Chain A
Amino acid sequence: MSLRSKEQLTCADVTPKSVYLNRRKFLKGAGLAGAFALAGRGLWELASPSSRAIAGTKLNVALKSPFSTTEKQNTYEDVTHYNNYYEFGVDKTEPARNAGTLKTYPWTVSIEGEVKKPRKITIDEILKLAPLEERIYRHRCVEAWSIVVPWIGYSLSELIKTVEPTPAAKFVAFESFYDPKEMPLAKYAGIDFPYVEGLRLDEAMNPLALLCVGMYGETLPNQDGAPVRIVIPWKYGFKSAKSLVKIRFTKSEPPTTWSRMAPNEYGFYANVNPHVDHPRWSQAKERRLGEFFRRDTLMFNGYSDQVASLYTGMDLRKNF
């Protein structure tokens, strides 16, 4: 496995760490001892097979968000060892093992298409564009499991405003990083890469739509979409594209990865909706990781107050 080296760290580093695998263990360790103990712990963690998460770096989070849920958060261990990141393998435990090859610094996102000010923006600039907030969101996968994650970032609209979309811009496409050399398992995933997702412009401008750079007080681990991703909490998880390299504003609806692959199963909108089943399984309930009984899935994943108005007059059965 590869660990984050010093030159891969971002300018926002407060505590550079050679190995950072388990937040709770680390906090405890750092509080008790100095760098020497930390190095020892790092070696111990390396030898332990269960902890292979990639290092994170502490972020300065200025704001708590009113959008945050008070529900119990999932553990860092769960959120970093149960991932869908098909470029690094299709089993949930594979990304934690394989995503170490992703080089997340330096990193640039190209913003292009129907905008007055197209730009290439570096991850350092993204981290400074707006004050970072913690947003504790419910995250509902199309596979009927869910988690609660304390993400860090700011509204995607903050970034969009800086590039000034033209009146013709109606949609936004998000493209994930893809390099078959760094992602050798991708060819077995059965979907096309690079991964592309999309939103209607008004959806992207909704304050709930998060441009995400971290979680649990730190930068994102690779397997969770480092260094920058979107989080769209009222839609199924696959809409929340990871490791973004391109944001393109378009006149018409962009073709997106899953809806191209199986248009009858995955729609462009993919709003969480307990009344519209996936053709092969029910979406009425979900299993919150860590809980035994399934719980009811909520319309728009419980974010109706913020987003229902985006879809007034639309047939959500047709536009699933």
Chain B
Amino acid sequence: MHKVLTNRWTQVVVFVLCLGPVVSLGWRALTGGLTANPIEFITHATGDWTLRFICITLAITPLRKILGLPDLIRFRRMLGLFAFFYGCLHFATYVVLDKFFDFPEMWKDVAKRPYITLGFLAFVLMIPLAVTSTAGWIRRLGGRRWQWLHRAIYITAVAGVIHYYWSVKSAVIRPLTYAAIVALLLLWRLAARFWPRTHTVQEASAKPQPQKAQA
């Protein structure tokens, strides 16, 4: 497993897989598969994939411990950046396709409509994380501060789920599924912090952080 996870080609394969959703959207656009309301379809698809990538990124640390696969860390930055990538597409869909640069209208949305406020917050909080995702920034900030900053992803995850929950009319099962997954991933972290022995978290915190994030 170590060999597979550290293989350069595995990175390439995961990268290509992560592009799947946007390729699928492009294919649908070319073949008329975006339903009668393409803007709504693209909005939902990019929003879904943002949340999915946030969940996958948050799952890396628990999976490393539970499965005993520390090499999984090599994929965390890429997955986090894909969450940001789909978040950007989602935001761009809103700005360009949905509102067509009607900034006063969008500002009203952000100020007046809580689900948009939260979605906007979730997106904006991802920007500094994407910017500081490089090895250079980890060095500049120092591992501890860097890690502290990157805990903002927890806020993004929670805000993102509530954003979804508040945007649906009645079918709350899907947003609640995401809520359960995010809750589980965050509770695991709490548990790991308070009962370190059962989750062998000490071994992780003993490691210098910069190493942890180097791909």
| Chain A residues within CB distance 8 Å of chain B | 50, 74, 77-79, 81-82, 86, 90, 92-93, 143, 145, 188-191, 261-262, 280-282, 287, 289-290, 292-293
Determine the chain B residues whose CB is within 8 A of the CB of A79 once the complex forms. Answer: 36
Determine the chain A residues whose CB is within 8 A of the CB of B113 once the complex forms. Answer: 280-281
| Structural contact, B169 and A143, CB atoms closer than 8 A | yes
Shortest C-beta distance, A31 to chain B (Å), equals 25
Determine the chain B residues whose CB is within 8 A of the CB of A190 once the complex forms. Answer: 169-173
| Structural contact, A261 and B36, CB atoms closer than 8 A | no
Determine the chain A residues whose CB is within 8 A of the CB of B172 once the complex forms. Answer: 190
| Structural contact, B171 and A90, CB atoms closer than 8 A | yes
Q: Given A190-B172, A280-B115, A293-B100, answer yes or no on A92-B35 (Cβ-Cβ < 8 Å).
A: yes
How far, in whole Å, are A93 and B37 apart by their CA atoms in the complex? 10
Cβ proximity bits B71-104 to A, threshold 8 Å, 1 near / 0 not: 0000000000000000000000000010010000
Flag whether B201 is at the interface (Cβ < 8 A).
no
Considering the complex, give the chain B residue whose CB is closest to the CB of A142. B169
| Structural contact, B36 and A78, CB atoms closer than 8 A | yes
Determine the chain A residues whose CB is within 8 A of the CB of B158 once the complex forms. Answer: none
| Structural contact, A188 and B37, CB atoms closer than 8 A | no
| Structural contact, B167 and A280, CB atoms closer than 8 A | yes
Determine the chain A residues whose CB is within 8 A of the CB of B33 once the complex forms. Answer: 50
How far, in whole Å, are A74 and B171 apart by their CA atoms in the complex? 27
A-B contact pairs, 21 of them (CB 8 A): A74-B36, A77-B36, A79-B36, A81-B35, A82-B35, A82-B36, A86-B170, A86-B171, A92-B35, A143-B169, A145-B37, A280-B114, A280-B166, A281-B113, A282-B105, A287-B37, A287-B39, A289-B36, A292-B97, A292-B100, A293-B100
Determine the chain B residues whose CB is within 8 A of the CB of A287 once the complex forms. Answer: 37, 39
Determine the chain B residues whose CB is within 8 A of the CB of A77 once the complex forms. Answer: 36
Determine the chain A residues whose CB is within 8 A of the CB of B40 once the complex forms. Answer: 92, 145
Determine the chain A residues whose CB is within 8 A of the CB of B115 once the complex forms. Answer: 280
| Structural contact, A188 and B166, CB atoms closer than 8 A | no
How far, in whole Å, are A82 and B167 apart by their CA atoms in the complex? 19
| Chain B residues within CB distance 8 Å of chain A | 32-33, 35-37, 39-40, 97, 100, 105, 108-109, 113-115, 166-167, 169-173
Considering the complex, give the chain B residue whose CB is closest to the CB of A147. B36
Shortest C-beta distance, B202 to chain A (Å), equals 43
Query: Contact partner of B170 among A81, A90, A281, CB < 8 A?
Result: A90
Query: Contact partner of A92 among B37, B114, B173, CB < 8 A?
Result: B37
How far, in whole Å, are A191 and B114 apart by their CA atoms in the complex? 23
Q: Given A280-B113, A280-B166, A281-B113, answer yes or no on A188-B171 (Cβ-Cβ < 8 Å).
A: yes
How far, in whole Å, are A187 and B172 apart by their CA atoms in the complex? 12
How far, in whole Å, are A159 and B37 apart by their CA atoms in the complex? 35
| Structural contact, B100 and A261, CB atoms closer than 8 A | no
**Which 8 interchain pairs have the tightest Cβ spacing?**
A190-B170, A82-B36, A78-B36, A90-B171, A289-B36, A190-B171, A191-B170, A188-B173
Considering the complex, give the chain A residue whose CB is closest to the CB of B108. A282
| Structural contact, A290 and B173, CB atoms closer than 8 A | no
Q: A82-B35, A92-B36, A290-B36 are in contact. List 17 more A-B contacts (CB 8 A).
A: A50-B33, A74-B36, A77-B36, A82-B36, A90-B170, A90-B171, A92-B35, A92-B37, A92-B40, A190-B170, A191-B170, A262-B170, A280-B166, A289-B36, A289-B37, A292-B100, A293-B100
| Structural contact, B170 and A261, CB atoms closer than 8 A | yes
Shortest C-beta distance, B103 to chain A (Å), equals 15
Shortest C-beta distance, A196 to chain B (Å), equals 15
Shortest C-beta distance, A38 to chain B (Å), equals 25
Shortest C-beta distance, A242 to chain B (Å), equals 16
Determine the chain B residues whose CB is within 8 A of the CB of A93 once the complex forms. Answer: 35
How far, in whole Å, are A280 and B35 apart by their CA atoms in the complex? 24
| Structural contact, A189 and B170, CB atoms closer than 8 A | yes
How far, in whole Å, are A143 and B40 apart by their CA atoms in the complex? 11
Determine the chain A residues whose CB is within 8 A of the CB of B37 once the complex forms. Answer: 82, 92, 145, 287, 289
Shortest C-beta distance, B118 to chain A (Å), equals 12
Determine the chain A residues whose CB is within 8 A of the CB of B171 once the complex forms. Answer: 86, 90, 188-190
Shortest C-beta distance, B158 to chain A (Å), equals 19
How far, in whole Å, are A181 and B171 apart by their CA atoms in the complex? 19
Determine the chain A residues whose CB is within 8 A of the CB of B32 once the complex forms. Answer: 50
How far, in whole Å, are A261 and B168 apart by their CA atoms in the complex? 13
Determine the chain B residues whose CB is within 8 A of the CB of A262 once the complex forms. Answer: 170
Determine the chain B residues whose CB is within 8 A of the CB of A50 once the complex forms. Answer: 32-33
How far, in whole Å, are A213 and B105 apart by their CA atoms in the complex? 40
How far, in whole Å, are A303 and B185 apart by their CA atoms in the complex? 52
How far, in whole Å, are A261 and B170 apart by their CA atoms in the complex? 8
How far, in whole Å, are A282 and B32 apart by their CA atoms in the complex? 28
Considering the complex, give the chain A residue whose CB is closest to the CB of B167. A280
Shortest C-beta distance, B32 to chain A (Å), equals 8
Shortest C-beta distance, A190 to chain B (Å), equals 4
Determine the chain B residues whose CB is within 8 A of the CB of A293 once the complex forms. Answer: 100
Shortest C-beta distance, A64 to chain B (Å), equals 26
